[in-house]
Amino acid sequence: MTLTKYQRMSYRWLGRFGERRANQHLQEALQSAHMEIRPGAYLSYVFLSTVIGFLATMIVMVLFVFLLLPLLGVVLDTGLVILFLFIPGFIAVIVYALLLSAPKRKAKARKKKIDMNLAYAINFISAMASAGVTPTEIFKSLSKQDIYGEVKEESAWIYRDVGLLGFDVLSAIKKNIARTPSQRFKEFLQGMVVTVTSGGSLKTYFMHKADQ
């Protein structure tokens, strides 16, 4: 995913600050949410948005308290003035919290959609395996089936790792095990890996999971 102009600007201005504060938890949340942006770049975007939210709200509050209200003949006591000037800080905290938690919220929404379509996708996988189609081709085909929603997106990432990045299919599956937000899909993929590495039959495994 290409960064927006605003995100690129955020990274130019605050990239070093964001990179120093990026962590593994944020990276995992971004991957689970399928937000293709580096943690440092995302934090830069969060920080700049927070600063802009604070400054914009501060300007509005200053104009309101020190210009508009006096023009209307309204005089606030010191306590109310201080209260109004605390609002920008409150808004900044809200902006920061909402943007920082956005990847986890999106990942949670994706998890529900994956779980909702997983049973139907496994039936599709089982049918293709019964026809002798290889795992790589199965994921390639599944990545083109819009009817399976977010399972399609998970399959597209697996096939991308194989077709574009040069991973073997087992490595690509293991990478997706680490980033998928769905525990059910994770267990399904882990079962595939165990079946292949133990010399078992994927066709039998898929049929068993379809029956389940």
Q: What is the pTM of this model?
A: 0.88
How high is the pLDDT of residue 179? 94
> Quick count: other Cβ atoms within 10 Å of Cβ 137?
13
Could you tell me what percentage of the chain is helix, strand and coil, using 3-state DSSP and rounding each to the nearest 5? 80, 0, 20
How high is the pLDDT of residue 1? 58
- Amino acid in position 19: E
Dihedral of the CA atoms 158, 161, 167, 171 (nearest 10)?
-40
How high is the pLDDT of residue 211? 87
Residues of the chain with pLDDT under 70: 1
**Cα–Cα nearest to 113, from 208, 184, 36:** 184
How high is the pLDDT of residue 193? 96
Distance of alpha carbon 126 from alpha carbon 141, whole angstroms: 13
Per DSSP, the three-state class of 166 is coil
**Number of residues written out for the chain:** 212
How high is the pLDDT of residue 198? 94
* DSSP for residue 4: P
Q: Are 109 and 32 in contact (CB under 8 A)?
A: no
